[in-house]
């Protein structure tokens, strides 16, 4: 997949079949649209093109609102779109100036002049341009004026999948990991680098890898203990992870850490990704290290049961 980050770098696409959106998570609902774009490209001897933005528009339009948490970082989104079989990805810088483009200016200068769109595929609730004023009917009008085609994915088709980025965020916030993964079509993951912790786990036979996420806006599942797999250096290990404030360890504070099963070695400063498969229990405080160790033994058994199908 070819990735472009400036309109000035764009080639002359061959019959470009285009879709546009933030595509946060590139979930199963997005895949319906992407599959249709790919099918049209094959049908018309064209190229599939995805137009997205970075940073996320809400981060620019509402810079002081820290409530937005994203399901995918830009590198993750690029990888997922490539896996979906897209030929081209355009990542436009989203700025305040860009946000002021009227729907007509967007259709004319971006879709027609810069990309030369042949057919644009959109979801039933697609909006574009200043204040999200442009809707499907407006897009149809611009398409007639500018000489391209528009296709809308029916609401019924999308609703059959019953998925949205908002639903996935809600499922993760409520620890419904299996539901989030079903909607995503894959395990939810958080990537970053392994950093030094307090090393208390070593003392009780459960050393942990502490993850520092790469992206501050990446959504972290709710506090608790989870069955996970950890992808590191090209290998995937079954593990159990804790997210939270570590009430059993005074002064430690928030952390994301995992105990990898059947692993020994040093992971410090190495890139890793935690893939979430099941919620095991809430965090709790223990009266002693022995009590904590006993609970971790039970957590390990439950995690292995949850991961047995992998």
DSSP lists the bridge partners of residue 193 as 212, 271
Domains 13-163 and 188-306 share a fold: no
pLDDT one-digit tens code per residue, 34-45: 999 999 999 999
Q: Using alpha carbons only, what angle is made at residue 309 by residues 202 and 72, rounded to the nearest 5 degrees?
A: 75
Are the beta carbons of 130 and 99 closer than 8 angstroms?
yes
Q: Using alpha carbons only, what angle is made at residue 281 by residues 279 and 283, rounded to the nearest 5 degrees?
A: 120
Domain ranges of the chain: 13-163, 188-306
| Fold category of 188-306 in CATH | Elongation Factor Tu (Ef-tu); domain 3 (2.40.30)
pLDDT one-digit tens code per residue, 115-166: 999 999 998 888 999 988 999 999 999 999 999 999 998 765 656 666 888 9
Whole-model pTM: value is 0.92
Among candidate residues 55, 14, 2, 23, the one with its CA nearest the CA of residue 184: 23
How many Cβ atoms from other residues are within 10 Å of residue 43's Cβ?
Answer: 11
3-state secondary structure of 119: strand
3-state secondary structure of 93: strand
Least confident of 58-62, 71-75, 224-228: 58-62
Q: Which two tokens stand for residue 49?
A: 């093109």
| Fold category of 13-163 in CATH | Rossmann fold (3.40.50)
């Amino acid at each position: 997949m070819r990735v472009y980050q400036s309109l000035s770098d764009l080639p002359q696409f061959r019959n470009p079949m285009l879709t546009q959106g933030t595509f946060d998570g590139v979930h199963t609902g997005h895949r319906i649209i992407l599959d249709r774009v790919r099918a049209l490209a094959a049908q018309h001897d064209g190229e599939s093109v995805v137009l997205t933005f970075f940073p996320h528009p809400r981060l620019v339009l509402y810079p002081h609102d820290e409530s937005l948490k994203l399901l995918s970082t830009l590198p993750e989104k690029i990888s997922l779109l490539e896996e979906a079989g897209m030929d081209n990805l355009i990542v436009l810088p989203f700025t305040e100036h860009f946000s002021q483009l009227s729907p007509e200016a967007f259709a004319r200068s971006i879709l027609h002049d810069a990309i030369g769109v042949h057919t644009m595929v959109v979801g039933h609730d697609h909006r574009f341009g200043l204040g999200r004023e442009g809707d499907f009917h407006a897009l149809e009008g611009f398409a007639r004026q500018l000489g391209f085609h528009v296709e809308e994915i029916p609401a019924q088709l999308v609703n059959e999948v019953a998925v949205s980025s908002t639903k996935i965020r809600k499922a993760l916030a409520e620890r419904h990991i299996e539901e989030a993964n079903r909607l995503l079509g894959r395990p939810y993951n958080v990537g970053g680098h392994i950093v030094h912790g307090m090393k208390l786990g070593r003392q009780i036979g459960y050393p942990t890898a502490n993850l520092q996420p790469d992206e501050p806006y990446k959504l972290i599942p709710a506090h608790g203990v989870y069955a996970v797999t950890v992808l590191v250096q090209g290998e995937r290990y079954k593990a159990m992870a804790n997210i939270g404030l570590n009430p059993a360890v005074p002064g430690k504070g928030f952390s994301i850490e995992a105990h990898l099963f059947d692993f020994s070695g040093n992971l410090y400063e190495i890139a890793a990704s935690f893939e979430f498969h099941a919620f095991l229990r809430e965090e709790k405080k223990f009266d002693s290290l022995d009590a904590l160790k006993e609970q971790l033994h039970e957590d390990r058994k439950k995690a292995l049961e949850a991961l047995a199908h992998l």
